[in-house]
Copies of this chain bind each other. A is one copy, B any other.
Amino acid sequence: MKTVSTIDQIRKARARLRGSVGFVPTMGALHAGHESLIARALKENKHVVVSIFVNPTQFAPGEDLAKYPRTLKADLKRCQVAGASLVFTPTSEIMFAKGHDTWVEVEHLGKPLCGQFRPGHFRGVATVVCKLFNLIQPTRAYFGQKDAQQALILTRMAQDLNMPIEVITCPTLREADGLAMSSRNRYLSPGERERALIISRTLFEIQRRYEKGERDVSHLLSVMESSLGAEMDEVQYAEIRRLSDLGELESLNDEPALAAVAGFVGSTRLIDNVVLAPAKRPAKRKNPQA
């Protein structure tokens, strides 16, 4: 496994990789969720490139940029064990050189949910991932469903900008008790860690009710709000939106929907979501006699 930090180095190292390339962009502080993305990328591509970059442009003022966990040595070890060929670890000065003036924005998809609470966040994400895509030129890129809005935005960006890259969204990995894996979980005290479970428990309850036939969005929302409010210190949003474009919904029908939550437990901001989609019917047998 090779580790490089500059634009010239990553271009040269990338040019040496023949065959398909899977790319896993990260902010480091890697956990089993990231490892599952690398494993998937390795299964579907000849090589895997991982980037580790805490992107300052996706943190709003007052957010946790300064204290975001930096665990480079452990991260590189995990990348190596997981089978990455190449890791790109640029500095902010390399990614955002003096005079940088270009921004990529996915306009409507970036407005609701986290977009309301993190000004500039998705613009920062889209810009840095666009830059990384152009540097790495992957065949496929892998993101986690835990950051559902980010995955939708980056899928849209690659399509809208005609990038020859397949963006793949992979299932959320969870701890044994249901908590969605996140680099920010390490901020939680034991008591907060226990209270944080309300998020996944609430989302699973919504999914259970949906599967039992509940289709009334306002009813499901009131269940979410009262459940989350009992344990979280602040609920930023608890919403159910159309999965395809994050549009608002009054009732659930055949279109898949996203039930998504963000808020604080102590001073830690956590997000999670589940997809509400009709169960796939078994394919009709063409010839029932066969």
Interface residues of A (CB under 8 A from B): 7, 11, 99-109, 126-127, 130-131, 134-135, 137, 156-157, 160-164, 245
B160 touches A101 (CB 8 A): yes
Alpha-carbon gap, A135 to B130, bound state (A): 15
Alpha-carbon gap, A104 to B162, bound state (A): 13
Contact of A161 among B105, B107, B131, B160 (CB under 8 A): B131
Q: Give the residue name and chain of the B residue nearest to A95 (CB).
A: B162
A106 touches B102 (CB 8 A): yes
Q: Which residues of B contact A100 (CB under 8 A)?
A: 160
This protein's copies in its complex: 2
B102 touches A245 (CB 8 A): no
B104 touches A109 (CB 8 A): no
- Closest Cβ of chain B: how far from A167's Cβ, in Å? 13
A107 touches B99 (CB 8 A): no
Chain A, interface SS category: mixed
B126 touches A161 (CB 8 A): no
Nearest first, the 10 A-B pairs at minimum CB distance are: A102-B160, A134-B162, A131-B162, A135-B162, A102-B106, A102-B157, A101-B108, A134-B163, A101-B106, A100-B160
Could you write out 5 A-B pairs with CB less than 8 Å apart? Answer: A101-B108, A101-B109, A102-B160, A130-B161, A134-B161
Among the interface residues A99, A102, A103, A130, which one has the most CB atoms of the partner chain B within 10 A? Answer: A102
Q: Which residues of B contact A156 (CB under 8 A)?
A: 99, 101-102
- Closest Cβ of chain B: how far from A141's Cβ, in Å? 14
Q: Which residues of B contact A164 (CB under 8 A)?
A: 11, 134, 137
Known: A102-B104, A134-B163. 8 other contacts (CB 8 A): A100-B160, A102-B160, A102-B161, A103-B107, A104-B104, A127-B161, A131-B160, A134-B164
Q: Which residues of B contact A7 (CB under 8 A)?
A: 162
Alpha-carbon gap, A171 to B107, bound state (A): 36
B103 touches A104 (CB 8 A): yes
- Closest Cβ of chain B: how far from A32's Cβ, in Å? 30
- Closest Cβ of chain B: how far from A58's Cβ, in Å? 16
Alpha-carbon gap, A274 to B28, bound state (A): 48
- Closest Cβ of chain B: how far from A288's Cβ, in Å? 39
Among the interface residues A99, A106, A108, A157, which one has the most CB atoms of the partner chain B within 10 A? Answer: A99
Among the interface residues A101, A127, A245, which one has the most CB atoms of the partner chain B within 10 A? Answer: A101
Q: Which residues of B contact A131 (CB under 8 A)?
A: 160-162
A126 touches B106 (CB 8 A): no
Q: Give the residue name and chain of the B residue nearest to A108 (CB).
A: B101
Q: Which residues of B contact A103 (CB under 8 A)?
A: 104-107
